[in-house]
Amino acid sequence: MAAADAEAEPLGAAEVDRLFEPLLDYNHLGLAVSGGSDSVALMVLASGWRERRPGAPKLSVLCVDHGLRAEAAREAVQVSDWASGLGLPHAVLQWAGDKPNSGLQAAARQARYDLMAAWCVRNQAQTIVTGHTLDDQAETVLMRLGRGSGVDGLSGMPVAGGAPWPLIRPFLAVSRVRLRASLRQIGHGWIDDPSNDDSGFERVRVRRALAVLGECGVDAKAIARSAERLARARQALEQQAFALHETAVSEEADGRVLIELDAFRRSPAETRIRLLQMVLHKRGGQAALRLAALERLDGWLMDGGGRARTLGNCRISRRKRAIVVAREPGRSKPARQHHKLDP
């Protein structure tokens, strides 16, 4: 069988069962279904899996109508009809209010997850399941590469993530062409969103660039493989930062955090930056600090010039033997948030 034919092979039941195995840890799941091929494949394959798998969780189909296209309401009805035909409960969630003039895709994504997360809270669903594919992973990595992301950004999307709401992406190692082959085998259709051809959106431009890169051997599978390997490196780097935190960080009774200066300066730059992110997040409560800002702070701490700086709602100063991190005066108590290194 030719490589292209093998790539287009539909998913078999055994492979689907393996991909959906992590879903057995939950009682109720919200399936994010837009009507596109990836999410429709998620809905159809998950429905078949649930029928043959004893103890499978309840599945609810969630479709968000962003109100951005005239056809969106009709497409949401189509998704509901498909879900009904599969015997799955479903809900259409409306994105109401004014829409931004710029950054529309990012705003729509945030609104989509906010709406689904709120529905999950109301209906006691523990997590959202999405149809993100290997192709989505490659596109995400390329977009982050264009922004100069570090190891965290280039490690791509995780199979399971915790922000802004718990997510599971069972198809992250599966290509879109295989999901479409699975739907064709079943005889099930999907909806093609015309915005997927709009070059005004960054992801569409990256998708087209990926097709060109594929001619040079830099295809989606290779990029996703690199992301997976970088994710392993990320875990190792995080462990090093936690180890440094255990030995070099202490907390004063007044809430200030002290970092032993010699231990900090002896550590590799990546470990230092991750330690700063951890400490600033804990004291300042700002989850997403930009990597460039942390790099500048690290450079200042290593060079030894100046007395104090502020970042992430914190005031950072140096003593002879320690770095002191304190909450900026007048700032409210930090909220508990997931932290990560942003580009």
Task: Let me know whether 115 and 253 are in one domain.
Answer: no
Task: Let me know whether 212 and 122 are in one domain.
Answer: yes
Task: Let me know whether 212 and 254 are in one domain.
Answer: no
- CA gap 221, 204 in Å, rounded: 18
Average pLDDT, the chain: 90
The tokens 């523990």 sit on which residue? 126
Lowest average pLDDT, out of 100-109, 163-172, 184-193, 331-340, goes to 331-340
Which has the higher per-residue pLDDT, 131 or 2? Answer: 131
Give a yes or no: residue 243 inside a domain: yes
Give a yes or no: residue 159 inside a domain: no
Q: How many CB atoms lie within 10 A of CB 290?
A: 13
Three-state secondary-structure class, residue 115: helix
343 pLDDT tier (thresholds 50, 70, 90):
very low
Q: Give alpha helix (H) positions in 220-290.
A: 220-248, 261-266, 269-284
Range of the domain at 247: 233-342
Query: Residue 300: enclosing H or E segment and its boundaries?
Result: helix 291-303
Task: Let me know whether 110 and 210 are in one domain.
Answer: yes
Task: Give the pLDDT score at 141.
Answer: 94
Task: Give the pLDDT score at 37.
Answer: 96
Task: Let me know whether 290 and 209 are in one domain.
Answer: no
Residues 187, 238 contacting (CB under 8 angstroms): no
- Phi/psi for 298 (5° steps) reads -60, -45
7 pLDDT tier (thresholds 50, 70, 90):
low
Task: Let me know whether 57 and 114 are in one domain.
Answer: yes
Lowest average pLDDT, out of 66-70, 106-110, 113-117, 315-319, goes to 66-70
- For the chain, give the percent of residues with pLDDT over 90: 71
What average pLDDT score do residues 316-339 get?
75
The CATH number of residue 304's host domain is: 1.20.59.20
Give a yes or no: residue 326 inside a domain: yes
2 pLDDT tier (thresholds 50, 70, 90):
very low
Task: Give the pLDDT score at 337.
Answer: 44
Lowest average pLDDT, out of 76-90, 146-160, 184-198, 286-300, goes to 184-198
Task: Let me know whether 48 and 107 are in one domain.
Answer: yes
The CATH number of residue 124's host domain is: 3.40.50.620
Question: Does the pLDDT at position 4 exceed 70?
Answer: no
Give a yes or no: residue 317 inside a domain: yes
Task: Let me know whether 72 and 180 are in one domain.
Answer: yes
Per the structure, the count of domains in the chain is 2
The tokens 């995780």 sit on which residue? 158
- CA gap 328, 1 in Å, rounded: 64
What average pLDDT score do residues 172-181 get?
96
Task: Let me know whether 53 and 190 are in one domain.
Answer: yes
164 pLDDT tier (thresholds 50, 70, 90):
low
Q: Which residue(s) pair with 64 in the sheet? A: 93
Give pTM, 2 decimals: 0.85
Question: Does the pLDDT at position 163 exceed 90?
Answer: no
Task: Let me know whether 115 and 24 are in one domain.
Answer: yes
Three-state secondary-structure class, residue 153: helix
Query: Residue 179: enclosing H or E segment and its boundaries?
Result: helix 176-186
Task: Let me know whether 261 and 197 are in one domain.
Answer: no
Question: Does the pLDDT at position 63 exceed 60?
Answer: yes
Give a yes or no: residue 153 inside a domain: no
- Taking only the tens place, the pLDDT of each residue in 95-143 is 988 888 888 878 888 899 999 999 999 999 999 999 999 999 999 999 9
Strands of the sheet with 160-161, listed across from one edge:
90-94, 58-65, 28-32, 127-129, 167-168, 160-161
- CA gap 275, 302 in Å, rounded: 14
Question: Does the pLDDT at position 151 exceed 60?
Answer: yes
336 pLDDT tier (thresholds 50, 70, 90):
very low
Question: Does the pLDDT at position 322 exceed 60?
Answer: yes
Give a yes or no: residue 310 inside a domain: yes
- CA gap 209, 142 in Å, rounded: 9
Give a yes or no: residue 47 inside a domain: yes
Three-state secondary-structure class, residue 233: helix
- Phi/psi for 216 (5° steps) reads -100, 5
Give a yes or no: residue 142 inside a domain: no
Task: Let me know whether 239 and 331 are in one domain.
Answer: yes
